[in-house]
Structure 1
Amino acid sequence: MSTNAQIENSIAKALQMEALIKKDRPKLEGRLSAGVIDGFFADNVTSQNTSTGAVIARQSKRAATLSQEDQIAVLSILVQAVRNAGKQNHLPGEILADLGVGKTITKSVKSVTDAASLVIQAYEAHVDELRRVGVLPADLERITELRDRLTSTNKDQEARKLSSKDQTKIRNEAHKRLLEAMALIIGAAELAFASDPEHLELYRALRPTKSSAKKPAAPQA
């Protein structure tokens, strides 16, 4: 069973245990250390929230990656179009160098945004020459907008990566405490309901499922 499946299994059983504890708390609490039941309730909520939050964080990260790839592709095309306009119209070598002609553009954020910045700076320095070959202020506005948006998207994505890691860490720690509390509560129930086996069985049935290690395959004859 995967880690996510184990956690979902634990949460489902913890929710059932909550209903039992609310009725049986007076019989259980005296057999447990202070804070075990309250900690169980708190960690159950945390496990639920971070389990859902971790999924959302991963989905957001994937969506941001797709958006980033699209922006890289569009910006790369626009930058190359300006370079091509300069080359095809035989602008002086100095201007072509300022545009970044001859420099490879990769699919990385840094490569594309650096190339866009060169074009923006070149347009400011050689506006008349570039206007004559058909590069309009609207083209530069679009390149600037995409560069800035791509830079922002990249920062957001890095923040989401941290958010996802934080969510996973919080979830795993809460899940560990939840399992410990459930074991203690079931142990207390063994004594509290020793004379009521039917009720005791309700607690025993809520032991979280543990993953079993895979047995190595038998050697072939």
Structure 2
Amino acid sequence: MMKLTRFVLSRSGSKSTPMKSRTRWFSTYSPNPNGYGSSSSVLYADYTIFKGKAALSISPILPTFAKTLSGALKVDKKGSILLKFSPAIGERKYDYEKKQCFALSATELGSLISLAPAKSCEFFHDPSMKTSNAGQVRKSLSVSPLSEDGYFFTLTVVNSLLKTNERFTVPVTKAEFTVMQTSFSFMLPYIMGWHQLSSQSSGSNLAKRTDVSLSPNLEWDR
């Protein structure tokens, strides 16, 4: 069973940085030759794991590119793999309005792809790190062994401003984790933007795609 979610979104609300060479935003998305994924389409592609206390949805976020005055294209914002945890409110019912997100970087994906059986890893995110607001919102993602049959994915979110402490735990079977690892390996070059390097027509496709760009609902939206 799979739940679908947002993959390509509008970037109208994003902030621009003062780079004199920047002129316009582009995404890596291009129309599908079979008629699907036209310029006005939004793509949905989640892998969702439904469990008794929470659901875990996983979706890729592509990078955005900036075009310089010289005509060169460079990655402006790297992509990620977004993990979304939603609490259960009944049998096979989940409150997606109260979801919490955790965006995995390329290096963090590498830790999960190479995670050996019976081993664990943990990641910490602080959006205000190295500022006076550091520590106001803290997120930690823990991946720990579930006997020999999989892993526990546990997300803890501590918000000192709202005085909340949320915790989501989703047991992931060995088969589900294998799907995750395989998907992570496949998407890694895409979230880094490297797939465009091997595309003969990537430059022209990006130049034509001035109407679609990415601004995903990343983990710090709430």
Tell me the TM-score range normalised by the shorter chain.
under 0.3
Could you say which structure has the higher helix fraction? 1
Could you say which structure has the higher strand fraction? 2
- TM-score scaled to structure 2, two decimals? 0.24
Q: Who wins on radius of gyration, i.e. which is larger?
A: 1
- TM-score scaled to structure 1, two decimals? 0.24
Q: Which has the higher contact order (CA 8 A, sep 6+)?
A: 1
